[in-house]
Homo-oligomer: A and B are copies of this chain.
Protein backbone atom coordinates (compact mmCIF):
# COMPACT_ATOMS: atom_id res chain seq x y z
CA UNK A 1 0.00 0.00 0.00
CA UNK A 2 1.47 3.28 -1.14
CA UNK A 3 2.14 5.76 1.58
CA UNK A 4 -0.80 7.93 0.67
CA UNK A 5 -0.63 10.87 2.96
CA UNK A 6 -3.85 12.79 3.09
CA UNK A 7 -4.17 15.46 0.48
CA UNK A 8 -4.14 18.88 2.13
CA UNK A 9 -4.87 22.39 1.06
CA UNK A 10 -1.20 22.91 0.69
CA UNK A 11 -0.94 20.16 -1.89
CA UNK A 12 -3.63 21.73 -3.99
CA UNK A 13 -2.10 25.16 -3.57
CA UNK A 14 1.31 24.03 -4.65
CA UNK A 15 0.01 22.03 -7.56
CA UNK A 16 -1.82 25.10 -8.80
CA UNK A 17 0.62 27.76 -7.83
CA UNK A 18 -1.79 29.68 -5.62
CA UNK A 19 -1.82 30.35 -1.92
CA UNK A 20 -3.21 27.92 0.61
CA UNK A 21 -5.65 30.48 1.63
CA UNK A 22 -7.17 31.03 -1.75
CA UNK A 23 -7.75 27.34 -1.91
CA UNK A 24 -9.44 27.41 1.45
CA UNK A 25 -11.69 30.25 0.41
CA UNK A 26 -12.53 28.65 -2.90
CA UNK A 27 -13.43 25.35 -1.31
CA UNK A 28 -15.52 26.82 1.45
CA UNK A 29 -17.44 28.90 -1.06
CA UNK A 30 -16.43 32.20 0.33
CA UNK A 31 -16.70 35.07 -2.09
CA UNK A 32 -13.63 37.09 -2.97
CA UNK A 33 -12.42 34.37 -5.25
CA UNK A 34 -12.78 34.65 -9.00
CA UNK A 35 -15.02 32.09 -10.56
CA UNK A 36 -12.22 30.98 -12.80
CA UNK A 37 -9.74 30.08 -10.08
CA UNK A 38 -12.47 28.61 -7.96
CA UNK A 39 -13.32 26.24 -10.75
CA UNK A 40 -9.70 25.31 -11.26
CA UNK A 41 -9.24 24.74 -7.55
CA UNK A 42 -12.35 22.65 -7.18
CA UNK A 43 -11.33 20.55 -10.13
CA UNK A 44 -7.89 19.98 -8.74
CA UNK A 45 -9.27 19.16 -5.32
CA UNK A 46 -11.53 16.63 -6.93
CA UNK A 47 -8.72 15.17 -8.97
CA UNK A 48 -6.42 14.82 -6.00
CA UNK A 49 -9.20 13.42 -3.86
CA UNK A 50 -9.02 16.13 -1.26
CA UNK A 51 -10.95 15.57 1.96
CA UNK A 52 -11.02 18.37 4.49
CA UNK A 53 -9.60 17.58 7.88
CA UNK A 54 -12.22 18.29 10.50
CA UNK A 55 -9.67 18.18 13.30
CA UNK A 56 -7.84 21.14 11.93
CA UNK A 57 -11.07 22.82 11.07
CA UNK A 58 -12.56 22.25 14.49
CA UNK A 59 -9.41 23.36 16.16
CA UNK A 60 -9.56 26.79 14.65
CA UNK A 61 -13.33 27.09 14.49
CA UNK A 62 -13.91 25.78 17.95
CA UNK A 63 -16.78 23.61 16.81
CA UNK A 64 -16.50 19.92 16.17
CA UNK A 65 -19.77 19.48 14.29
CA UNK A 66 -20.31 16.54 16.51
CA UNK A 67 -22.93 15.77 19.09
CA UNK A 68 -22.54 13.26 21.83
CA UNK A 69 -25.11 10.69 22.78
CA UNK A 70 -24.80 9.02 26.13
CA UNK A 71 -27.06 6.07 26.62
CA UNK A 72 -27.36 3.37 29.23
CA UNK A 73 -27.87 0.49 26.90
CA UNK A 74 -28.11 0.33 23.12
CA UNK A 75 -29.68 -3.11 23.30
CA UNK A 76 -32.74 -1.77 24.98
CA UNK A 77 -35.12 -1.45 22.05
CA UNK A 78 -36.45 1.85 23.25
CA UNK A 79 -32.99 3.33 23.26
CA UNK A 80 -32.18 1.63 20.00
CA UNK A 81 -35.02 3.50 18.37
CA UNK A 82 -33.81 6.65 20.04
CA UNK A 83 -30.36 6.15 18.56
CA UNK A 84 -31.81 5.66 15.09
CA UNK A 85 -33.86 8.81 15.31
CA UNK A 86 -31.09 10.91 16.76
CA UNK A 87 -28.50 9.79 14.29
CA UNK A 88 -30.86 10.48 11.46
CA UNK A 89 -31.90 13.90 12.61
CA UNK A 90 -28.39 14.88 13.57
CA UNK A 91 -27.11 13.86 10.18
CA UNK A 92 -29.77 16.08 8.68
CA UNK A 93 -28.18 19.00 10.46
CA UNK A 94 -24.73 17.89 9.40
CA UNK A 95 -23.62 16.59 12.76
CA UNK A 96 -21.71 13.43 13.39
CA UNK A 97 -22.64 11.29 16.33
CA UNK A 98 -20.33 10.13 19.06
CA UNK A 99 -21.92 7.29 20.98
CA UNK A 100 -21.05 6.60 24.59
CA UNK A 101 -22.53 3.95 26.84
CA UNK A 102 -22.67 4.39 30.58
CA UNK A 103 -23.98 0.90 31.35
CA UNK A 104 -26.18 2.36 34.03
CA UNK A 105 -23.22 3.14 36.24
CA UNK A 106 -22.16 6.47 37.72
CA UNK A 107 -18.61 5.65 36.72
CA UNK A 108 -19.65 5.22 33.15
CA UNK A 109 -21.44 8.53 33.41
CA UNK A 110 -18.37 10.21 34.69
CA UNK A 111 -16.18 8.78 31.97
CA UNK A 112 -18.70 9.76 29.34
CA UNK A 113 -18.88 13.31 30.63
CA UNK A 114 -15.12 13.49 30.58
CA UNK A 115 -14.90 12.18 27.04
CA UNK A 116 -17.50 14.61 25.82
CA UNK A 117 -15.66 17.44 27.45
CA UNK A 118 -12.39 16.42 25.91
CA UNK A 119 -13.77 16.18 22.46
CA UNK A 120 -15.47 19.45 22.83
CA UNK A 121 -18.62 18.18 21.21
CA UNK A 122 -21.01 20.93 20.33
CA UNK A 123 -23.72 19.49 22.49
CA UNK A 124 -24.89 16.25 23.99
CA UNK A 125 -27.98 14.20 24.58
CA UNK A 126 -27.83 12.07 27.67
CA UNK A 127 -29.69 9.35 29.45
CA UNK A 128 -27.99 9.75 32.80
CA UNK A 129 -27.24 6.67 34.87
CA UNK A 130 -29.22 6.01 38.00
CA UNK A 131 -27.94 7.25 41.28
CA UNK A 132 -25.99 9.93 39.55
CA UNK A 133 -26.36 13.07 41.52
CA UNK A 134 -25.35 14.31 38.11
CA UNK A 135 -22.65 16.57 39.39
CA UNK A 136 -20.16 15.45 36.76
CA UNK A 137 -22.62 16.65 34.13
CA UNK A 138 -22.54 20.16 35.43
CA UNK A 139 -19.21 20.93 33.89
CA UNK A 140 -20.45 20.56 30.35
CA UNK A 141 -22.96 23.39 30.36
CA UNK A 142 -20.39 25.38 32.29
CA UNK A 143 -18.02 24.88 29.40
CA UNK A 144 -20.62 26.00 26.96
CA UNK A 145 -21.72 22.53 25.90
CA UNK A 146 -25.50 22.35 26.03
CA UNK A 147 -27.04 19.19 27.42
CA UNK A 148 -30.47 17.70 26.91
CA UNK A 149 -31.67 14.87 29.13
CA UNK A 150 -33.54 12.05 27.50
CA UNK A 151 -36.25 9.94 29.03
CA UNK A 152 -35.11 10.45 32.61
CA UNK A 153 -35.01 13.65 34.46
CA UNK A 154 -31.92 14.65 36.36
CA UNK A 155 -33.43 16.16 39.48
CA UNK A 156 -30.38 18.02 40.64
CA UNK A 157 -29.60 20.09 37.60
CA UNK A 158 -31.77 22.52 35.77
CA UNK A 159 -31.40 20.89 32.37
CA UNK A 160 -33.58 20.60 29.34
CA UNK A 161 -35.32 17.29 29.44
CA UNK A 162 -37.44 15.48 26.91
CA UNK A 163 -39.20 12.41 28.12
CA UNK A 164 -42.41 10.50 28.04
CA UNK A 165 -45.50 11.30 30.01
CA UNK A 166 -45.27 8.02 31.83
CA UNK A 167 -47.61 9.14 34.53
CA UNK A 168 -50.48 9.74 32.15
CA UNK A 169 -49.60 6.66 30.14
CA UNK A 170 -49.70 4.45 33.20
CA UNK A 171 -52.84 6.14 34.45
CA UNK A 172 -54.58 5.51 31.15
CA UNK A 173 -53.47 1.90 31.01
CA UNK A 174 -54.46 1.17 34.60
CA UNK A 175 -57.78 2.87 34.13
CA UNK A 176 -58.36 0.78 31.04
CA UNK A 177 -57.70 -2.39 33.01
CA UNK A 178 -60.11 -1.30 35.69
CA UNK A 179 -62.76 -0.48 33.14
CA UNK A 180 -62.23 -3.90 31.67
CA UNK A 181 -63.26 -5.28 35.01
CA UNK A 182 -60.08 -5.61 37.03
CA UNK A 183 -60.38 -4.98 40.73
CA UNK A 184 -57.04 -6.06 42.08
CA UNK A 185 -54.32 -4.83 39.80
CA UNK A 186 -50.67 -5.40 40.45
CA UNK A 187 -47.86 -3.37 38.90
CA UNK A 188 -44.53 -5.02 38.23
CA UNK A 189 -41.74 -2.51 37.89
CA UNK A 190 -38.05 -2.42 37.29
CA UNK A 191 -36.05 -2.04 40.48
CA UNK A 192 -34.29 1.16 39.47
CA UNK A 193 -34.68 4.51 41.19
CA UNK A 194 -35.43 6.43 38.01
CA UNK A 195 -38.13 8.88 37.12
CA UNK A 196 -39.93 6.72 34.55
CA UNK A 197 -40.55 4.07 37.17
CA UNK A 198 -41.67 6.63 39.71
CA UNK A 199 -43.95 8.29 37.19
CA UNK A 200 -45.57 5.08 36.04
CA UNK A 201 -46.11 4.06 39.62
CA UNK A 202 -47.75 7.38 40.39
CA UNK A 203 -50.06 7.20 37.40
CA UNK A 204 -50.95 3.64 38.20
CA UNK A 205 -51.87 4.42 41.78
CA UNK A 206 -53.81 7.49 40.75
CA UNK A 207 -56.02 5.39 38.52
CA UNK A 208 -56.68 2.89 41.29
CA UNK A 209 -57.43 5.60 43.82
CA UNK A 210 -59.75 7.35 41.45
CA UNK A 211 -61.62 4.11 40.93
CA UNK A 212 -61.97 3.67 44.64
CA UNK A 213 -59.80 0.59 44.64
CA UNK A 214 -57.14 -0.23 47.19
CA UNK A 215 -54.03 1.63 46.13
CA UNK A 216 -51.50 0.79 48.76
CA UNK A 217 -47.82 0.48 48.10
CA UNK A 218 -48.32 -3.29 48.12
CA UNK A 219 -50.00 -3.04 44.73
CA UNK A 220 -46.57 -2.30 43.27
CA UNK A 221 -43.92 -4.97 43.12
CA UNK A 222 -40.31 -4.41 42.26
CA UNK A 223 -38.87 -7.02 39.94
CA UNK A 224 -35.61 -8.08 41.52
CA UNK A 225 -33.37 -7.71 38.52
CA UNK A 226 -31.07 -10.65 38.58
CA UNK A 227 -27.68 -9.05 38.29
CA UNK A 228 -26.56 -9.94 34.83
CA UNK A 229 -23.06 -10.05 33.47
CA UNK A 230 -23.63 -6.65 32.01
CA UNK A 231 -26.50 -4.29 32.36
CA UNK A 232 -25.96 -3.55 28.70
CA UNK A 233 -28.52 -6.18 27.85
CA UNK A 234 -32.26 -6.01 27.30
CA UNK A 235 -34.59 -6.65 30.15
CA UNK A 236 -34.86 -10.19 31.27
CA UNK A 237 -38.33 -11.73 31.06
CA UNK A 238 -37.15 -14.42 33.45
CA UNK A 239 -36.95 -11.91 36.28
CA UNK A 240 -40.60 -11.03 35.91
CA UNK A 241 -41.47 -14.66 35.38
CA UNK A 242 -40.11 -15.66 38.74
CA UNK A 243 -41.81 -12.83 40.56
CA UNK A 244 -45.13 -13.50 38.85
CA UNK A 245 -44.79 -17.15 39.70
CA UNK A 246 -44.30 -16.27 43.36
CA UNK A 247 -47.35 -14.08 43.30
CA UNK A 248 -49.48 -16.72 41.64
CA UNK A 249 -48.34 -19.35 44.10
CA UNK A 250 -48.86 -16.96 46.96
CA UNK A 251 -52.55 -17.44 46.45
CA UNK A 252 -53.58 -13.81 46.54
CA UNK A 253 -53.94 -13.66 42.78
CA UNK A 254 -54.54 -10.23 41.25
CA UNK A 255 -57.03 -10.13 38.42
CA UNK A 256 -54.74 -7.96 36.34
CA UNK A 257 -51.03 -7.35 35.93
CA UNK A 258 -49.50 -4.21 34.63
CA UNK A 259 -45.79 -4.23 33.83
CA UNK A 260 -43.18 -1.56 33.22
CA UNK A 261 -41.99 -3.04 29.95
CA UNK A 262 -43.18 -5.59 27.45
CA UNK A 263 -40.39 -8.00 28.26
CA UNK A 264 -41.80 -8.41 31.71
CA UNK A 265 -45.13 -9.22 30.12
CA UNK A 266 -43.50 -12.22 28.48
CA UNK A 267 -42.58 -13.55 31.88
CA UNK A 268 -46.02 -12.88 33.27
CA UNK A 269 -47.67 -14.65 30.36
CA UNK A 270 -45.68 -17.73 31.05
CA UNK A 271 -46.24 -17.75 34.77
CA UNK A 272 -49.97 -17.44 34.24
CA UNK A 273 -50.15 -19.98 31.45
CA UNK A 274 -48.21 -22.52 33.43
CA UNK A 275 -50.58 -22.05 36.31
CA UNK A 276 -53.44 -22.90 33.98
CA UNK A 277 -54.73 -19.36 33.89
CA UNK A 278 -55.88 -17.76 30.68
CA UNK A 279 -54.34 -14.39 29.89
CA UNK A 280 -57.00 -11.89 28.90
CA UNK A 281 -59.73 -13.94 30.50
CA UNK A 282 -58.77 -15.08 33.96
CA UNK A 283 -56.14 -12.42 34.35
CA UNK A 284 -55.65 -9.26 32.30
CA UNK A 285 -52.22 -7.99 31.35
CA UNK A 286 -51.01 -4.60 30.22
CA UNK A 287 -47.50 -3.74 29.10
CA UNK A 288 -45.34 -0.78 28.28
CA UNK A 289 -43.32 -0.10 25.16
CA UNK A 290 -45.33 -1.66 22.36
CA UNK A 291 -42.49 -3.80 21.24
CA UNK A 292 -43.00 -5.30 17.79
CA UNK A 293 -43.72 -8.68 19.34
CA UNK A 294 -46.57 -7.30 21.44
CA UNK A 295 -49.10 -7.49 18.64
CA UNK A 296 -48.08 -11.05 17.88
CA UNK A 297 -48.26 -12.69 21.24
CA UNK A 298 -51.13 -15.00 21.95
CA UNK A 299 -53.18 -13.31 23.18
CA UNK A 300 -51.91 -10.07 21.72
CA UNK A 301 -50.65 -7.68 24.35
CA UNK A 302 -52.34 -4.47 25.35
CA UNK A 303 -49.55 -2.02 25.91
CA UNK A 304 -48.54 1.61 25.91
CA UNK A 305 -46.65 2.80 22.83
CA UNK A 306 -43.77 5.16 23.50
CA UNK A 307 -42.84 8.00 21.17
CA UNK A 308 -39.20 7.06 20.85
CA UNK A 309 -38.62 8.57 17.43
CA UNK A 310 -40.34 11.80 18.36
CA UNK A 311 -38.24 12.13 21.46
CA UNK A 312 -35.06 11.65 19.50
CA UNK A 313 -36.05 14.04 16.80
CA UNK A 314 -37.25 16.83 19.02
CA UNK A 315 -34.30 16.39 21.34
CA UNK A 316 -31.94 17.00 18.47
CA UNK A 317 -33.98 20.00 17.39
CA UNK A 318 -33.88 21.43 20.87
CA UNK A 319 -30.19 20.74 21.25
CA UNK A 320 -29.39 22.40 17.96
CA UNK A 321 -31.32 25.49 18.90
CA UNK A 322 -29.42 25.61 22.17
CA UNK A 323 -26.13 25.14 20.42
CA UNK A 324 -26.93 28.03 18.16
CA UNK A 325 -27.51 29.99 21.28
CA UNK A 326 -30.93 31.03 20.12
CA UNK A 327 -32.61 30.70 23.45
CA UNK A 328 -29.73 30.80 25.77
CA UNK A 329 -31.65 32.49 28.49
CA UNK A 330 -34.80 30.47 28.43
CA UNK A 331 -35.65 28.41 31.38
CA UNK A 332 -34.93 24.74 31.09
CA UNK A 333 -37.41 23.03 28.85
CA UNK A 334 -39.07 20.06 30.50
CA UNK A 335 -41.15 18.27 27.93
CA UNK A 336 -43.11 15.07 28.25
CA UNK A 337 -44.42 13.59 25.05
CA UNK A 338 -47.63 11.60 25.20
CA UNK A 339 -47.61 7.82 25.22
CA UNK A 340 -50.50 6.02 23.62
CA UNK A 341 -52.45 3.08 24.92
CA UNK A 342 -52.81 0.31 22.36
CA UNK A 343 -55.65 -1.96 23.34
CA UNK A 344 -55.34 -5.54 22.29
CA UNK A 345 -56.59 -8.89 23.47
CA UNK A 346 -54.76 -9.35 26.75
CA UNK A 347 -57.07 -6.85 28.39
CA UNK A 348 -60.38 -7.96 26.96
CA UNK A 349 -61.96 -10.32 29.32
CA UNK A 350 -64.94 -11.15 27.15
CA UNK A 351 -64.48 -10.46 23.49
CA UNK A 352 -62.43 -12.84 21.45
CA UNK A 353 -61.81 -10.15 18.88
CA UNK A 354 -58.90 -10.76 16.62
CA UNK A 355 -56.20 -8.16 16.40
CA UNK A 356 -55.37 -6.00 13.46
Contacts and interface: CB of A to CB of B under 8 A. Distances in A.
Interface of A: 1-2, 4, 6, 49, 51-56, 58-59, 64, 66, 69, 73-75, 77, 80-81, 83-84, 87-88, 91, 96-101, 103, 111, 114-115, 117-120, 139, 141-144, 230, 232-237, 241, 263, 266-267, 269-270, 273-274, 291-293, 295-298, 328, 354
B263 A292 contact: yes
A119 B98 CA distance: 12
A317 to B, nearest CB: 18
A32 B2 CA distance: 36
30 contacts: A1-B142, A1-B144, A1-B328, A2-B142, A4-B142, A4-B143, A49-B139, A51-B114, A54-B120, A55-B59, A55-B64, A59-B59, A69-B99, A74-B83, A74-B84, A75-B77, A75-B81, A75-B83, A75-B84, A83-B83, A87-B100, A99-B99, A234-B292, A236-B292, A237-B292, A267-B296, A270-B298, A291-B293, A297-B297, A297-B298
Residue in A74, A96, A235, A241 with the greatest tally of chain B CB atoms within 10 Å:
A74
Contacts of A99: 69, 83, 87, 97-99
B4 A144 contact: yes
Given A88-B230, A96-B119, A298-B298, 17 more contacts: A6-B120, A51-B118, A52-B118, A53-B120, A54-B120, A55-B59, A74-B83, A75-B84, A77-B77, A77-B234, A84-B101, A96-B98, A96-B100, A97-B98, A237-B293, A267-B296, A293-B293
A87 B267 CA distance: 29
Contacts of A54: 118-120
Contacts of A266: 292-293, 296
A99 B73 CA distance: 15
Contact of A270 (B143, B270, B296): B296
Contacts of A117: 51
B298 A269 contact: yes
Contact of A120 (B55, B114, B142): B55
A148 to B, nearest CB: 16
Contacts of A139: 49
Contacts of A354: 274
B101 A98 contact: no
A84 B73 contact: yes
Nearest to A293: B293
A87 B56 CA distance: 26
Given A115-B96, A270-B296, A101 B77 contact: no
Nearest to A49: B139
A266 B230 CA distance: 28
Contacts of A97: 98-100
Nearest to A111: B91
Contact of A101 (B66, B87, B111): B87
A293 B293 CA distance: 8
